[in-house]
Structure 1
Amino acid sequence: MNKKIAMNFLYQAIYQATLIVLPIVTIPIISHALGAEGLGLWNYVSSIVSYFTLVAGLGLANYGVREIAIVKKSKELLSKKFFELQIFNAFFSLGTFIVYLTMILFLPNKDLYLAQSFVVLGALFDISWFFAGIEDFKKISLLNVFIKVLSFVCVLLFVKNRSDLFLYVLIQSLSTFFSQLGLWLFLPKKVSWHAVSIRESWAHFRPALEFFIAKVGATIFSSITKTILGMLTTMTFVGIYSNSLTLVFMSGSIVGALNTVMIPHMSKLVDSNEPAKMTKILERTIHLQLYFTIAIMFGIIGINGKMIGWFYGSEFYSMVNTVPLLSISVVLQSLYNGIATQYLIPKGDMKSYNLSILYGAIVSAVLDILLIPFIGIYGAILGNIFGQLLICAMRIIPLKRETGFQFNYVWIGKYIAAGIIMLVLINGLTENLPTSAKTTLIQVSIGLISYFIITIIFRVNPLMSEIRKK
């Protein structure tokens, strides 16, 4: 790893750490202040808004990075490409913004949708793809960290009770807008004005569609359940479901960061035609992620009962039942993202990538529509899990078919056994302790220590194996 990549990783790591640490503080504050219904309404409105930001971006987040990276060594070509892409972006983002403002006239909760309009408008000014393309992650990361901290302070100062829902939505919306607008301050030193034609800009439409398809699937998959749940049940259920999902994914987000680090290295192996080495590395990283995510899954189940009351408040107590059901998502998401970022994307297999996420989104949406009217929030959970299972299957199949990749089922079985023993120890040793932050800290400590020791005893601890190799 050269110095530039290492520094980019450091800046990204700082930003990712911010995204993990701040929610740990803000989630309980917001949950107590807004309640399940208020939080549900916020998530429902956000799910609707995400469809508009999806169209506004039209895949530029990934496509733009690739196009800029190709010409980054020539300032003239870089400037030309930037204005081609930005005019292309302006066409879709402004058109989407006009449609969005028109839609608000016919919807309830107009004030919340109006507050969220800054998110849609922000797509016009979002040039993070440019700075990612020239590998200047420092500005993206540090600016986003500053904005996130500032919005965190605003939430602490102004969001006190349910009547402050509009203020909370506005703070979140403006933080997104200013994080996108702020990057323009650094642009003049990177590019110079270059006139381009509409035809040159429009030429990016077809290639951008390939990236847009993947973005459609990802957005639908992450938002459709909240939308359908809000339409068919109540905003309280949306709040409980959203918080459950956030807790699960937040717990596994650190492990997921491993995938981002591996993309450039795996891409290099593809270019140098070293499939055997690539497969060997992929086997090691996937099993390392399984080691951690299986522990996190059982850990979430173990601490859940004693944590929900003090962390979220009494209105969210039914999360005691929903979080354990969603906990498997930690394992599934890490697995299918690992295969995508370390194999499909470096290999350029966008077809498998796109189809898996699209089919997963479709299955999730169909099951939501069929099951939510009968079993409510549990229908949403089943729809989400089956969608993730399908994505995993559709990514594992080409991986195993095209490479010599093998899962070590003996080790995975022992990870699960260690997780079960850890769960029994957590529940047994803390059964009579009260619901409190101190109890949660004790449970986490028991889980970490016991899982680590048990996997050493079982001789399946990958961390110790790496030490022995060295």
Structure 2
Amino acid sequence: MGGIKKNLIYNVTYQILIIILPFITAPYISRVLGAHDIGVYSYTQAFANYFYLFAMLGVMNYGNRTIAAVRDNSDVLKKIFWEIFTFQFFIGILVSVAYVFYCIYCVKEDRLIYYMQFFYVISGVFDINWLCFGLEKFKFTTIRSVLVRLGMVFAIFLFVRERSDLAVYTGILSVGNLIAAFAVWPFVLKRIGFKMPTLEGILKHLKPNLILFFPVIAVSIYHLMARLMLGGLSTEEEVGFYTYAERITQIPNTLILALNSVVMPRMANLYAKNDRYTTRNLMDKVMLFAMFMSALMAFGLAGVAPIFAPWFYGAEFTRCGLFIVLLCPIIIFKGWAGVLRTQYIIPKGRDKVYIISLTTGAIVSLLLNFLLIPKYSGTGAVMGTLGAELSVCLVQFALIRREIPFAIYLKDGLVFCCFGVVMYIVISYMGNLDISSFFLMLLQIAIGTLIFGVPAGLYCMKIKGFNLKMLKNIF
């Protein structure tokens, strides 16, 4: 468990850094570029992200799982890595060329911004974080990410000064992702070495990659399609409001995602060894952590959002507060479904369950967005996202309910949500206090954490049987 604790610290840092760059720079960028240009960037980035996903296919999950299973055999590890990467490389090059042709012949407006996004697309050709995760080398990944993303932050504050600098801003973020991908390679060449892959070895990874690629596309439909449909059916400003609201609600899931990512390769290795007791014990702890944290952060963020949005982003983004409140339930849905996916479904090789659940989410997202966005704009996109995340969570639980202690998980989750509702009511009422926004939010956070933490902690100790030492290990 010591290795998991260290990796959790590193991966929490890594996952935070993935979103901390736009979060740190958001107050500055929102005021310099404005809602319209932020919407343009978000729309083009969502479009480029589809090409990035095709460049990587299902390698992120498949590579992580495969490397974790063979990491104890250096010869097999070397062989498998170069087979998977070669497959990724050739697919990525084809997709990158297709993106360039699309920009040349199909893009009519904001063409320069689309060109700047090319560096993001091609970074998918060289992105091998899946290898580091499979080897549980989170320390290296974190250090690399810290250095690259700090450089991106400095560049943004140095070079993005006025509304005409949207292309500069886009270029900094896109090139930064490409540099981050290249930064891993010296470690790989030293740690893994090179082995010429065979055509047969490369092609054997085609089918499992395509199987895991389908859920990746399904996820992207209800994560990215909302932005694309919102840009096509509404205004760039609404895209900007929705994007910034969604970005805020992603931050609470970072802790849960970090723990899931750290434990997933360990779980895959334990499943390969058929260690049922350890896997069940570990999954129960991760699920309790996810339910506790997701309820705390979802209801807490919803309570402070109306004050936070205009204070953080500026008065132009007041509408973000409404979007954040409405999006907060996805923190719970994603937290619960994420544990099932990363601790059981993917390590156990239950790809069919994964595909069915995410396909359901994609269909729900498309239908709701198509019906609601034309009439309700950004609010419609929020409803589509909520429906998609809820359906994914429900389908995953339904399909494996007989294989897990479903009733226990549901009871624990509902108890934490009840504590969260009480916290939300209190801190929402506190929003009427006539003090500065900053100090009001600090007071809301302190009071809210106390209101939720005391009964939730007592529940864990008295009902779940956890003592203080075990609680410390979980948190």
Same fold? TM cut 0.5: yes
Work out the CA distance in 2 between the residues paired with 1:342 and 1:66: 11
1:388 aligns with 2:389: yes
Q: Deviations for 1:64-119, whole angstroms, at most 9, x for unmatched residues?
A: 33444455455554444343333322221111111110100221211111111111
- Cα RMSD for the two superposed structures: 2.7
Equivalent position of 1:113 in the other structure: 114
Q: Deviations for 1:307-350, whole angstroms, at most 9, x for unmatched residues?
A: 11110111111122222111111111101111111221232211
CA contact (8 A) 2:11 2:262 kept: no
Q: Bigger CA drift: 213-222 or 142-151?
A: 213-222
**AA in 1 matched with 2:328:** S
For structure 1, the 5+ residue unaligned runs are none
**AA in 1 matched with 2:374:** P
Work out the CA distance in 2 between the residues paired with 1:87 and 1:141: 25
CA contact (8 A) 1:283 1:406 kept: no
Query: What does 1:77-226 correspond to in 2, within 5 Å?
Result: 77-105=76-104, 106-107=106-107, 108-226=109-227
CA contact (8 A) 1:411 1:460 kept: no
Identify if the C-alpha distance between structure 1 residues 154 and 410 changes in structure 2 by more than 3 Å, giving closer, same or farther. same
CA contact (8 A) 1:55 1:93 kept: yes
Q: Deviations for 1:146-184, whole angstroms, at most 9, x for unmatched residues?
A: 111111111122223322211111111011000111222
Equivalent position of 1:347 in the other structure: 348
**AA in 2 matched with 1:117:** F
CA contact (8 A) 1:293 1:330 kept: yes
Q: Bigger CA drift: 396-405 or 90-99?
A: 396-405
Equivalent position of 1:8 in the other structure: 7
Query: What does 1:270-349 correspond to in 2, within 5 Å?
Result: 270-271=271-272, 273=274, 278-279=279-280, 282-349=283-350
CA contact (8 A) 2:7 2:262 kept: no
Work out the CA distance in 2 between the residues paired with 1:437 and 1:366: 39
Identify if the C-alpha distance between structure 1 residues 203 and 420 changes in structure 2 by more than 3 Å, giving closer, same or farther. closer
- Tell me how far 1:410 sits from its aligned partner: 5.8
- Tell me how far 1:409 sits from its aligned partner: 5.8
Equivalent position of 1:33 in the other structure: 32
Aligned residues: 467
1:467 aligns with 2:467: yes
For structure 2, the 5+ residue unaligned runs are 471-475
CA contact (8 A) 1:306 1:434 kept: no
CA contact (8 A) 1:14 1:141 kept: yes
- Tell me how far 1:371 sits from its aligned partner: 1.6
Equivalent position of 1:450 in the other structure: 451
Equivalent position of 1:365 in the other structure: 366
- Tell me how far 1:133 sits from its aligned partner: 3.7
Q: Secondary structure at the match of 2:184?
A: helix
CA contact (8 A) 1:68 1:134 kept: yes
**AA in 1 matched with 2:42:** N
Identity of aligned residues (%): 28
Work out the CA distance in 2 between the residues paired with 1:193 and 1:279: 37
Work out the CA distance in 2 between the residues paired with 1:129 and 1:290: 26
Q: Deviations for 1:2-34, whole angstroms, at most 9, x for unmatched residues?
A: 54x554334323323434554442222222222
Q: TM-score, normalised on structure 1?
A: 0.90
- Tell me how far 1:51 sits from its aligned partner: 1.0
Work out the CA distance in 1 between the residues paired with 2:325 and 2:100: 39
Q: Secondary structure at the match of 1:466?
A: coil
Equivalent position of 1:60 in the other structure: 59
Work out the CA distance in 2 between the residues paired with 1:199 and 1:265: 29
